[in-house]
Amino acid sequence: MKHFLSTKDLDKNYILQLIQNARQLQTSQISSKLLRNKFIALFFSEASTRTKTSFQLAGMRLEAQVIDLNLNTSSLQKGETLIDTARTLANLGIDCIILRHSASEAALELAKALEHTKIKIINAGDGTNEHPTQAFLDLFTILECTDDLKNKQISIVGDCLHSRVARSNIYLLSKFGAKINLIGPPSLVPEELKSLAENVTIHHSLETGLPNTDFLMVLRLQKERQAKGLIESLEDYSEHYKISENALKKAKINIDRIKILHPGPVNRGLEIDSELVDHAKISLINRQVFNSLYVRMAVLLNLLWE
C-alpha cells in the first residue's frame, strides 16, 4: 500500500492482516528494529496529544528517526503552500509524512501532489473527513472483546457530522457486518449520514437509540469545526445526550453487556460522566490508548518496511 488515507476503500483482508501484525507487535513476535534507516516527519497543524505521541513512539519503537515539524513554525508561516513544504521534505529524503490538517481531503491532496516521489502519506485526521488509524485502533480494541462483529450494534453518540473519527469508523466497522447506530440532535446527526454505509440507523434520543447497543462510542462536541447555533447550549446538550449511569439505566441497558469507547480528548461531565470514563469494567478508553501504539506500529511497518 502506498499511503494510508482513508478506511473507505480498505480491503477487508488487508485490515485483517494489519490487525494480526498489531497483535504480533503487542506480543513481541515481530522484531521492533525494522525501520532503522527510515525517516518519518510528524506534520501536525491541529492540537493533538494521543495521535501525535503514539505515532512518535510507534516510529521510535521501530527505530525509525522521527522528526516533529510544527506546521505553525514551519515555512507555511512565510506563505509557502502545504504541498511545497511537503515537497521539500520529500527532496530531503523523508520517507513518510504523518499529516494532521484542518482541511478535509488535505492528506489526499498531498498524496496526489507527491505522486512522483517515494514519500508515503498517513492521514492523522483531516478536517471533518477521516481519521483512519483511530478507527483502526477502535476496531482492534473492539475485536479484543468479541470475535465477530456481525450484527453487533455500535452506537456512536454525539457530534457525528463533524467527526472524522465517526466517518472512518462507519466505513470500517460496517465492512465487518456491524450495525451502526448514530445518536444525537438532528443538527449534529442529520439523515444524510445514513448514506455513508449500509446498515446505518439514526436516533435523536438516548432512550430510543441506546437499547441493543453492544459498543458505545462517545464523541466530543467538535466546537472548532461547528457553525454557530447548532446546539442550544452545552447544558441543554448534556441534559439530553450525556452518557451517564442514569441514562444507561433509563434505556434499560445492562451494564454488564456494554463497553464504552471514546477517541479522546474527553470533556468529562459534558458528553460523558466522569465515573463512566474511569469505570474499570465497561470503559475501554485506556485500552484504546494502549492499543494505539501497536496499531500505528503496524501501519508504519506496512507502509515502510522493505
Check binding of 134 to ligand NCD (CB under 6 A).
Answer: yes
Check binding of 162 to ligand NCD (CB under 6 A).
Answer: no
Check binding of 167 to ligand NCD (CB under 6 A).
Answer: no
In the complex, the smallest distance separating the C-beta of residue 222 from ligand NCD, rounded to whole angstroms, is: 6
Among 21, 45, 101, 125, binds ligand NCD (CB under 6 A): 125
Listed in sequence order, the DSSP H helices in the chain are 12-26, 50-61, 82-91, 106-113, 132-143, 164-174, 206-209, 234-241, 245-250, 274-277, 285-304
Is the Cβ–Cβ distance between 205 and 240 less than 8 Å? yes
Burial 115-141 (b: 16+ CB within 10 A, else e): eeeebbbbbbbbbbbbbbbbbbbbbbb
Site string for ligand NCD, 247-266 (x = CB under 6 A): ----------------xx--
Task: Give 67's strand partners.
Answer: 41
Q: To 5 degrees, how large is the angle CA 233–CA 237–CA 152?
A: 155
Among 153, 160, 200, CA closest to 184: 160
Smaller CB distance to ligand NCD: residue 113 or 270?
Answer: 270
Smaller CB distance to ligand NCD: residue 177 or 269?
Answer: 269
Check binding of 131 to ligand NCD (CB under 6 A).
Answer: yes
Helix (H, G, I), strand (E, B) or coil at 105: coil
Smaller CB distance to ligand NCD: residue 30 or 160?
Answer: 160
Among 66, 114, 139, 165, binds ligand NCD (CB under 6 A): 165
In the complex, the smallest distance separating the C-beta of residue 136 from ligand NCD, rounded to whole angstroms, is: 12
Q: To 5 degrees, how large is the angle CA 56–CA 146–CA 59?
A: 10
In the complex, the smallest distance separating the C-beta of residue 278 from ligand NCD, rounded to whole angstroms, is: 18
Check binding of 51 to ligand NCD (CB under 6 A).
Answer: yes
What does DSSP say about strands 96-101 and 120-126: parallel, antiparallel, or unpaired? parallel
Please report the sign of the dihedral spanned by the C-alpha atoms of residue 208, residue 165, residue 293, residue 21: positive
Smaller CB distance to ligand NCD: residue 220 or 296?
Answer: 220
Distance CA 212, CA 291 (A): 26
In the complex, the smallest distance separating the C-beta of residue 21 from ligand NCD, rounded to whole angstroms, is: 21
Among 101, 120, 164, 242, binds ligand NCD (CB under 6 A): 164
Check binding of 184 to ligand NCD (CB under 6 A).
Answer: no
Cell numbers for 227, please give them.
457553525
Of residues 52 through 111, those in contact with ligand NCD by CB under 6 A are: none
In the complex, the smallest distance separating the C-beta of residue 134 from ligand NCD, rounded to whole angstroms, is: 5
By beta carbon distance, the residue nearest ligand NCD is: 220
Check binding of 220 to ligand NCD (CB under 6 A).
Answer: yes
Check binding of 123 to ligand NCD (CB under 6 A).
Answer: no
Distance CA 133, CA 124 (A): 7
Residues that bind ligand NCD (CB under 6 A): 50-51, 125, 131, 134, 164-165, 220, 222, 263-264
